[in-house]
Amino acid sequence: MPDRRRIFALLNPIAYSLHPAMAPGRALAVLLALAPFAGSVAAEATGSGTASRSAAPAPAASSAPRSSERGYAEPSSLQPPASSLLPSLTDGPAEIAPLAAEALLLDLAAAGNRLVAVGERGHILLSDDQGGTWRQAPVPTRATLTAVTFTDPRHGWAVGHLGTLLRTVDAGETWQRLSANLDRESVLLDVLFLNANEGFAVGAYGLFLRTRDGGATWTRSDPQPDQYHFNQIVRTADGAFFLCGEAGTLLRSLDGALSWEPVPPPYDGSLFGLVALADGQLLVHGLRGHVFRSTNGGAGWLPVATSVPTLLMHGLRLRNGLVVLAGQSGNFFLSRDRGQSLELWRPGSADGVSALLETTDGSLLLVGEKGVRRIAAPPLFTAPAAAAP
């Protein structure tokens, strides 16, 4: 097992062993949501450089006692390891929590007129008034759920930590566990279904799953040998598939996701999402405000300038053609020219955002470290600058 995989395997149970009263939001959110990205995020977030695509050399052996290492303490014989607490804290159904809509949420999707949001502790929330009110659905797991998708108003899937795969056939009212024979270290980060039968789930360490029967059975393949994390899978209007992820990972498939080819990466840092524009152009976004645009199906990329080096977790093309990129600390970016340029937009909230969705009235619903909230639609046109006195 690679060193970083072992570190992640330890982080997972430690995060789950924290009492909810400790660090209500931020610390737990970072552990649960960003632990899979530790390798690339740490490399880039701590300096101005980017994460290297090559593996770090093995550390030299040391004769010093392990208790002298930073952050390490010899385990006590009276205290069980955190990993032994994992089953008792994560097995069983999600608890119904009155403030679930204000806890960490990581993704949301539309199921017809219903909205469905997923997040930590197995929380799945349903709204039948476009995000005005939310209620919690019963869910057979307490694992953190990272992504959700629907192909029609009734059929949906959710994925997450501990190799969790879930399916609903009644618009999210009830959820059924699915099995892909994954171990508890497996983390799924995105899910995409083309119809009620054919779908994909991707995640940490190059995990790639495919189903042709709605999730009853899954097959596993290895699109790339480096085992970098896959953060998102996207299908464009012309039928091409893209995978983006850690350390500049960018793959393309032109044969229905049967085979994959590497696309020359625009840079070596982590890429968190790809937005397919109406005219076939593509935007890919990632760490430290990095955004790149392609006009030739991903064969080549041009940088798009951003004024703030913020982490960009999610992108969305609105019905009116605007493109919104959701960043951290209240920093969003808007494009009115199909991704050729980006302008900073600060709608007034400084919370971390994981995903966004456009409602029927054009406003935006955001999910992140403080649950779900609504903001007004971004301005369609930039207000002209005031004339000098």
Which residue stretches of the chain are H helix?
3-17, 26-34, 38-45, 82-90
* Mean pLDDT of the 254-260 span: 96
The pLDDT value recorded for residue 110 is 97
pLDDT for the residue 279: 80
Tell me what pLDDT residue 90 has.
64
The pairs formed by 299-304 with CB atoms below 8 angstroms and a separation of 24 or more are: 299/263, 299/264, 300/264, 301/264, 301/266, 303/266, 304/335, 304/339, 304/340, 304/341, 304/342
Helix (H, G, I), strand (E, B) or coil at 206: helix
Across the range 293-318, mean pLDDT stands at 93
| Triad 85, 28, 101: Cα angle to 5° | 110
3 versus 296: the higher-pLDDT residue is 296
- The angle at the Cα of 298, spanning 230 to 250, to the nearest 5 degrees, equals 20
- Picking from 173, 155, 175, the residue whose alpha carbon sits closest to that of residue 164 is 175
Query: Which pTM value belongs to this model?
Result: 0.79
For position 328, what pLDDT does the model report? 86
Q: Return mean pLDDT, the chain.
A: 80
For residue 7, what pLDDT band results from cuts at 50, 70 and 90? Answer: very low
> What does the pLDDT read at residue 69?
29
Residues above pLDDT 90, as percent of the chain: 61
Report the share of the chain in percent with pLDDT over 70: 74
Q: State the amino acid at position 145 in one-letter form.
A: L
Could you tell me how far CA 248 lies from the centroid of its own chain?
Answer: 16
CA distance 123 to 118: 6
The mean pLDDT value for 122-127 works out to: 98
Count CB neighbours of 377 within 10 A.
17
pLDDT of residue 54 exceeding 60? no
Domain ranges across the chain: 89-375
Predicted pLDDT of residue 265:
81
Query: Does residue 27 have a pLDDT over 60?
Result: no
Nearest-angstrom CA–CA distance, 213 and 158: 16
**Pick from 225, 224, 147: which is nearest to 189 by CA?**
147
Q: Which tokens sit at 137?
A: 């659905």
Model confidence at 92, in pLDDT bands (50, 70, 90)? confident
- The predicted-structure confidence for 177-211, as pLDDT tens digits, reads as follows 999 999 989 999 999 999 999 999 999 999 999 99
Element (H, E) at 358: strand 353-358
Using pLDDT thresholds of 50, 70 and 90, give the confidence band for residue 381.
low
Q: Is 120 helix (H, G, I), strand (E, B) or coil?
A: helix
Convert the pLDDT of each residue in 325-368 to its tens digit.
998 888 899 999 989 999 999 887 667 899 999 999 889 999 99
Question: Is the pLDDT assigned to residue 145 strictly greater than 60?
Answer: yes
Confidence of residue 94 (pLDDT cuts 50, 70, 90): very high
The answer on pLDDT for 83 being more than 80 is: no
* Residue 19, burial from CB neighbour count under 10 angstroms (0-12, 13-18, 19+): exposed
* CB within 8 Å of 218: residues ≥ 6 apart: 165, 178, 179, 180, 181, 201, 209, 210, 211
How do beta strands 323-327 and 312-317 pair?
antiparallel
Residue 384: other Cβ atoms inside 10 A:
6
User: What confidence score (pLDDT) does residue 378 get?
Assistant: 83
Query: Which DSSP string do the residues of 48-75 spell out, in sequence order?
Result: SS---SSPPPPPPP--S-GGGSTT--PP
How confident is the model over 39-49, as a mean pLDDT? Answer: 42
**CA dihedral sign of residues 252, 253, 258, 262:** negative
Which residue bears the tokens 């790809």?
274
Q: What pLDDT is recorded for position 220?
A: 96
Which of 15-29, 259-273, 317-331 is predicted with the least confidence, judged by mean pLDDT?
Answer: 15-29
Largest interatomic CA distance in the chain: 75
Least confident of 34-38, 51-55, 284-288: 51-55
Taking alpha carbons only, the member of 268, 208, 267, 232 closest to residue 40 is 268
Contact status, residue 227 vs residue 233, Cβ threshold 8 Å: no
CB half-sphere exposure, 220, CA atoms < 13 A? 11
Does 71 have pLDDT greater than 60? no
Task: Give the CATH architecture of domain 89-375.
Answer: 7 Propeller (2.130)
